Amino acid sequence: MMAKVLIVEDESAVREMIGFVLKQSGYEAVEAENADEARCCLADKPADLILMDWMLPGTSGVELTRELKQNALTRDIPVIMLTARGEEDDKVRGLMCGAEDYITKPFSPRELTARIKVILRRVAPHATEEVVVAGGLRLDPLTHRITLGGKEIELGPTEFRLLHFFMTHRDKVYSRSRLLDQVWGTNVFIEERTVDVHIRRLRKALEPNGAESLIQTVRGAGYRFSELAVAR
């Protein structure tokens, strides 16, 4: 699955350069030149990571980052601050507002993509193309294949995304509404019970291999992926 990176930068030449580098590196790049455009982009479809310029017109990058980190729908999106400021106090201020990393201009394309990869691997593993192994399952995002004990498991696209998310967020409980936001997107208006339908389909696909118990129902809370269920 191609990770989506939102570039919030008011200088068009810098924004376009970063967009080109990201696309060459296999990312989906979306551009915004100010805070209002960034909000619109995030309302349409959540990003997997945000590259945030410090000096934006109107609402600054620091203020916007603080705002996003206080919003339940955007607080988990990692932010890398982009700025010409190199003083230690400025770096601390950027990190204290909620940013996961800080990169000083000018920077090389190699450094930028390396930092993005490290952040995504740590805080948004579902947005990377790395093979995930859990509960005996092996999921390859690039080939879109899932195997268990050498046998391939056939899943529909939604069930694949759902399982990928679960496998990269093991042992955490997610409500139906949170799963809708994370797997379907915030701009999709469907009933929460739709999640139950896809959970049943996912379990049915895993059942012939005895792996259906990996997907647990937590009464009154939601669902979680747990390898302990198989161990017992």
DSSP 102-132: EEESS--HHHHHHHHHHHHHHH-GGGS-S-E
What whole-number distance in Å separates Cα of residue 68 and Cα of residue 46?
11
Span between the terminal Cα atoms of the chain, in Å: 32
Longest dimension (CA), the chain: 58
**pLDDT number for residue 2:** 73
What whole-number distance in Å separates Cα of residue 222 and Cα of residue 220?
6
Residue 89 has pLDDT above 70, yes or no: no
- Which parts of the chain are beta strand (E)? 4-8, 28-32, 49-53, 79-83, 101-104, 132-134, 137-140, 145-148, 151-153, 215-218, 222-225
Provide the mean pLDDT of the chain: 87
Residue whose structure tokens are 């193309």 = 129
pLDDT in tens, 5-45: 999 999 999 999 999 999 999 899 999 999 999 999 998 87
Domains of the chain, first to last: 4-127 (3.40.50.2300), 132-231 (1.10.10.10)
What whole-number distance in Å separates Cα of residue 59 and Cα of residue 227?
44
Please answer whether residues 132 and 121 qualify as being in contact, where contact means their C-beta atoms are separated by less than 8 angstroms: no
pLDDT tier, 232 (very low <50, low <70, confident <90, very high otherwise): very low
Q: Are strands 145-148 and 137-140 parallel, antiparallel or unpaired?
A: antiparallel
Residue 230 has pLDDT above 60, yes or no: no
Average pLDDT over residues 198-206: 94
**pLDDT number for residue 178:** 85
Average pLDDT over residues 133-146: 90
Sheet holding 49-53, edge to edge: 28-32, 4-8, 49-53, 79-83, 101-104
Average pLDDT over residues 72-78: 86
